Amino acid sequence: GAISDEQMMTYRRMGSPFQGHPTPALPWVDVATGSLGQGLPIAVGVAIAGKYLDKLPYRVWVLCGDSEFAEGSIAESMDKANYYKLGNLVAILDMNRLGQRGQTEYGWDGDEYAARARAFGWHPIEVDGHDFDDIERGYQLAIQHQDHYEQPVLIVARTVKGKGISWMENQNGWHGKPVPKDKLDATIAELGGATNLTFEIPEAPAATAYVAAAADHPAPTTYELGSAVATRKAYGDGLKAVGALRPDVVVLDAEVSNSTMAEIFKEAYPDRFFEMFIAEQQMVAAAVGIGVRGYVPFASTFGAFMSRAYDFIRMAAISQANIKLCGSHAGVSIGEDGPSQMALEDIAMMRAVHGSVVLYPSDANQTVALVHEMADHDGIAYMRTTRAATPVIYEAGDVFKIGGSKVARQSDSDEVTIVAAGITLHEALKAADQLAEQGIHIRVIDLYSVKPVDYETVREALVATHGRLVVVEDHWPQGGLASAILECLATRPGSTNGFGDNFRMTHLAPSEMPGSGTPDELMDWAGISARHIIEAVRTMLD
C-alpha cells in the first residue's frame, strides 16, 4: 500500500510525517485539517475552481464530523455552495452521536441534519454508515442527482462510534484514546482478527490538458509624482495589472470590493472574481481551496475584519498555502467610521503567522509594484492599505522587493532615524521638512516590508544616527513596526555594534481606544502626527 507497516509505527512520533492530524508533510495531502469546520469551506473553494476556472467534470467529496456542524464556518460554506450552485460537491456527514466530551448537538437526529441541508439549498440523502451496499447506494444517488441538478449533496451517514467492539461501542470517553494493552488481543479478535484488505483502484479517465487564455499586455499602471492616490485604489489597479499578465490570478472579496477596490479587477475580469459576501472565514477558506488547484488567489476585506478568519489563516500556514490577503482601512487614519472599522491589530496578527510576508505600502506606485511581488511570491502574503489618498512620492520605475525598505530622506548630518510606513511615512516626511528648516536633519526609512525587515538598512541608519530611533505607526504598540525592528535586532548577533551603548528609542503609536473624528484629528490625538514626531526628535536631542 501507500504506507508501510514500518512507517505506520512512527505515527505521532518526532520527525514522522504521520502527525496527530494530516498535513502536507504527506504528499497526497493538499491542506491541513484538525481545526474543525475547515474541510468543507476549503472544499467549496476547490469545487468553485473545478466548475468556474478548470471547467473540468471532477467531483469534490468531503468527509465531515457531526461535531463540526456546530461551527459557523459550516453554515457559511453550505450557503456559498448553494449560491454558486456547486453540483460538483458532495459532503458525507459521519453522524455517530458522540463528540469529544459527550453527545453532539443533534445526536442521531438525521432528520434535523437533512432539514438544515434543505434550508441551505442542498439535497440530503440518508444512509446506514455501516452498510457498504447502502453507502454505495447513497453515492450513486448523489451522482445521479447532480447529473440533473446543479445542487450540492449532503449524505447523512448514521454510524456508531466504536462499532464492533462490545465494551466500547456507543460509549463516551474514548475519543482519541487507544485500546488498553490488556484488551488489545480480545478487541482485534472481536473485530475479526488481523486482515489484509486489497482494493482495485480504477484508472482515472484521460483529462484534457488545460490551456490558459493568452494574457493581455497593457501599459504598466503608473501615477504622477505629487498626485494624491489612496493605496487601496492602487491595490485594485495593481490587481487589474497583474490579472492582465497572469490568467492564474483570481480575486475574492467579502462584500466590500467598492472599499478595498477589488472591484477594479472584477470589472476587468468578472470570470475570475468571486464574491464571498460577509463571510470572511469562507473567503479565506475558498482562497485556500482555489490555491490547491494551482491558481493564485487574492482575498480582501477591511483589515479589522480579517481577524474573523484568523484560524483559517493560521491553518493555511500549516497547509503551506499560496494565498494573498489584503486588509484595507488601516488604523485611526480612517477617521469618522470609528474603532469598529479600524485595523489596529492586523500587523501583529499577520506577523505571527508562520512564514508570512507583511507589506504596508506608502504610495500608489509602490503598492502596484508590491502587488506584483505578492503574486510572484509562493506563500502567504498580507498587504495593509490606507483609506485616505496620500501623495505619490516614488517614481513609477522604482523597485520594491519583499524584504526591502526605502530611505525616503537622508543627509550626511542625520541625527535621528525615523521609521514609519503607510500613512505615518507622510507625517514623518512633513516632520523632516520642518526640522530641516530649523537645521535638524533626520533619516526617514519607509519600512514597507514589515516582515521580513530590511535589517541592513535599519542598522546602517542607526549607526549613522548614533542609535537614536523614533518609530511611528498607526497600529497598537504591540506587535507592529517597533516590535518587528526590536525582534530583528535582538536575534542578530552583534546587531548593535557601533551604537549599542547609545541606543535610545521612542515609540509613537495609538495607546487609547479611539473614537470618531477626522483623520487629522485622530492622528494628532493618537500622537502620530508630524507635530508629535518633531517633539520626539527634539526631546531625544535635548
- pLDDT, one tens digit per residue, over 107-155 is 999 999 999 999 999 999 999 999 999 999 999 999 999 999 999 999 9
The number of angstroms, rounded, from the C-alpha of 341 to the middle of its chain's C-alpha atoms is 19
The average pLDDT across 65-71 equals: 98
Supply the pLDDT for residue 217.
Answer: 64
- As beta bridge partners, residue 359 has 383, 449
**Rounded average pLDDT over 91-113:** 97
Give the per-residue pLDDT at 200. 79
Q: State the pLDDT at residue 492.
A: 87
Q: Is-contact 396 367, C-beta < 8 A? A: no
> What is the structure's pLDDT at 197?
74
Residue 216 has a pLDDT of: 59
Average pLDDT rounded to a whole number, residues 170-196:
93
Q: Which residue has the cell 485539517?
A: 33
Please state, in angstroms and as integers, the Cα–Cα distance from residue 217 to each residue in 53, 240, 262, 284, 374, following that order.
21, 11, 20, 29, 19
Report the half-sphere exposure of 394 (CA within 13 A, side-chain side).
26
Q: What is the pTM of this model?
A: 0.95
Share of the chain above pLDDT 90, in %: 91
Q: Is the pLDDT of residue 212 over 60?
A: no
Contacts of 112 (CB under 8 A, 6+ apart): 106
Q: Confidence band (pLDDT; 50, 70, 90) for 501? A: confident
- Residue 325 has a CB neighbour count (10 Å cut-off) of 29
| Bridge partner residues of 321 (DSSP) | none
Model pLDDT for residues 256-277, shown as the tens digit of each residue: 999 999 999 999 999 999 999 9
Q: What distance in Å separates the CA atoms of residue 85 and residue 55, rounded to the nearest whole number?
A: 14
Residue 214 has pLDDT above 60, yes or no: no
Average pLDDT over residues 312-330: 99
**Catalytic residue numbers, as ranges:** 280
pLDDT of residue 221: 86
Show the CA angle centred on residue 372, arms to residues 368 and 373, nearest 5°.
Answer: 115
Q: Are 240 and 265 in contact (CB under 8 A)?
A: yes
- Report d(CA 11, CA 320) in Å as an integer: 21
d(CA 175, CA 119): 31
Residue 50: phi and psi, rounded to 5, are -65, -45
Q: Are strands 389-391 and 357-359 parallel, antiparallel or unpaired?
A: unpaired
Dist. CA 241–CA 369, nearest whole Å: 10
Is there a contact between 426 and 391 (Cβ–Cβ < 8 Å)?
yes
Q: What pLDDT shows up at residue 421?
A: 99
Exposed (0-12), middle (13-18) or buried (19+): which is 248, by Cβ within 10 Å? middle
Rounded mean pLDDT, 481-486: 98
* Range in 7-16, 406-415, 432-441, 506-515 with the lowest mean pLDDT: 7-16
Taken in order of first residue, the domains within the chain and their CATH numbers are 5-190 (3.40.50.970), 228-391 (3.40.50.970), 406-541 (3.40.50.920)
210 — pLDDT class (breaks 50, 70, 90): very low
| Alpha helix ranges (H) inside 191-279 | 231-245, 257-260, 263-268
Q: For cell 490625538, name the residue.
A: 525
* Amino acid in position 512: E
CA dist., res. 357 & res. 354, Å (int): 9
φ and ψ of 129, to 5 deg:
-70, 0
Higher-confidence residue: 539 or 216? 539
Query: If residue 39 lies in a helix (H) or strand (E), which one and from where to where?
Result: helix 39-48
Q: Estimate to the nearest angstrom the gap between the alpha carbon of 246 and the chain centroid.
A: 21
- Predicted confidence (pLDDT) at residue 500 exceeds the cutoff of 80: no
Q: φ, ψ for residue 470 (rounded to 5)?
A: -120, 125
Residue type (1 letter), 437: E
Q: Are 176 and 99 in contact (CB under 8 A)?
A: no
Cα atoms found within 13 Å of the Cα of residue 412, Cβ hemisphere only? 0
Cis peptide before 477 (omega within 30 of 0): no
Contact in structure between 129 and 98 (CB atoms under 8 Å): no
pLDDT at position 66 over 60: yes
Q: How deeply is 180 buried, as exposed, middle or buried, from its count of CB atoms within 10 A (0-12, 13-18, 19+)?
A: exposed
**What are the angstrom distances between the C-alpha of 514 and each of 473, 481, 521, 522?**
15, 20, 11, 7
When the pLDDT of each residue in the chain is averaged and rounded to a whole number, the result is 96
Question: Average of pLDDT values for 36-56?
Answer: 98
Among 124, 118, 120, 129, which Cα is nearest to 145's? 124
Confidence of residue 213 (pLDDT cuts 50, 70, 90): low
Cα dihedral 482/484/490/491 (nearest 10): -170
Report residue 452 as a C-alpha cell. 521580513
Contact criterion met (CB below 8 Å) for 382 and 371 = no
Residue 2 has pLDDT above 90, yes or no: no
Residue from 423, 390, 428 nearest 230 by CA:
390
